[in-house]
Amino acid sequence: MNLSWIDWMIVIAAIVVIRLVSWSTRSLMRGVADFLSANRVAGRYLLTISGEMGNFGVITLVAGWQAFTSAGFVNFWWPLMYMPLSIVFIMTGWVFYRLRETRALTVGQFLEMRYSRRFRVFAGGLCWLSGIINFGIFPAVAARFLIYFCGLPDTFPVLGLHIATYPALMVADLGMALYFVLAGGQISVMVTECAQGMIACVAYVAIAVAALLIVPWHREVAALQMAPANASMLNPFHTTQVKDFNLWYYLIQFFISIYCYQAWLGGQGFMTSARNPHEQRMGALISNWRGVPLGMMSIALPLAGYTLLHSPHYAAQAASVNAVLHQISNPSVQNEMLIPVALAHLLPVGIKGLVAMIVVFLSFTCHDTYLHAWGSIFVQDVLLPLRNRPLEPHQQIRWLRWSIFFVAVFIFVFSMVYSETDKIKMFQAMTGVIWLAGAGSVMIGGLYGRFGTAAGAYCAMAAGGVLGIGGLLLPLYWQSHHLGEFPINGQYMMLLASLVSIVLYVSVSFATGGLRRPFNLEKMLHRGVYSTDPHEHEVKSTLTNRWLELLGMGKEFSRGDRFLAILYACTTLGTWLLFIGVCAAHFLFHTITDQFWINFWHIYLMVMLCVSIPVLIWFTIGGVLDIRNLKETLKTAVRDDTDDGRVVHEDSDRLGGTVVETPAQIAIADQAAKVASHSSE
CATH number at residue 663: 1.20.1730.10
SS3 state of residue 515: coil
CB atoms within 10 A of CB 167: 15
The full 3-state SS of 603-656, as one line of letters, equals HHHHHHHHHHHHHHHHHHHHHHHHHHHHHHHHHHCCCCCCCCCCCECCCHHHCC
Q: How confident is the model at residue 401 (pLDDT cuts 50, 70, 90)?
A: very high
List the beta bridge partners of residue 156.
Answer: 163
229, with CB counted inside 10 A (0-12, 13-18, 19+), is: exposed
DSSP H stretches of helix in 311-350: 315-325, 331-336, 338-344
Residue 489 predicted with pLDDT over 90: no
In total, the chain counts a number of residues equal to: 681
- In order of 258, 525, 552, 559, the CA distances from 543 in angstroms are 32, 28, 14, 16
> Quick check: is 636 in a domain?
no
The yes-or-no verdict on residue 650 having pLDDT over 70 is no
Q: In whole angstroms, how far apart are CA 63 and each of 24, 206, 214, 226, 607? A: 34, 22, 24, 22, 24
Please check whether residue 658 is in contact with residue 648, taking contact to mean a CB–CB distance below 8 angstroms. Answer: yes
The answer to the question of residue 378 being in a domain is yes
pLDDT score, position 541:
43
DSSP classification of residue 588: I
State the average pLDDT over residues 616-642.
88
DSSP 8-state symbol, 230 = T
Task: Work out the pLDDT band at 551, boundaries 50, 70, 90.
Answer: low
Q: Mean pLDDT lowest for which of 222-231, 320-329, 659-668?
A: 659-668
Residue 323, in any domain of the structure? yes
Q: Is the pLDDT of residue 89 over 70?
A: yes
Q: Is 553 among the domain residues? A: no
The predicted structure's pLDDT at residue 549: 52
* pLDDT reported for residue 355: 97
**d(C-alpha 147, C-alpha 228), whole Å:** 32
What distance in Å separates the CA atoms of residue 648 and residue 664, rounded to the nearest whole number?
A: 17
Side-chain half-sphere exposure of 675, counting CA atoms within 13 A: 23
Question: Domain for residue 59, yes or no?
Answer: yes
How far apart CA 107 and CA 126 sit, in angstroms, is 13
pLDDT band at 548 (very low <50, low <70, confident <90, very high): low
Q: Per the domain annotation, does 37 fall within a domain? A: yes
- Residue 182 covered by a domain: yes
The residue-averaged pLDDT of 440-456 equals 93
**Least confident span in 113-117, 160-164, 251-255, 420-424:** 420-424
The domain in which residue 285 lies consists of 5-536+566-631+651-680
Domain count, the chain: 1
Q: What is the pLDDT of residues 47-88, one digit of tens each?
A: 999 999 999 999 999 999 999 998 899 999 999 988 888 888
| Cβ-based neighbours of 164, under 8 Å, separated by 6 or more | 154, 155
Examine residue 70 and state whether it is found in any structural domain, yes or no.
yes
Contact (Cβ atoms closer than 8 angstroms) between residue 451 and residue 509? yes
Of 124, 169, 3, 5, the closest CA to residue 465 belongs to 124
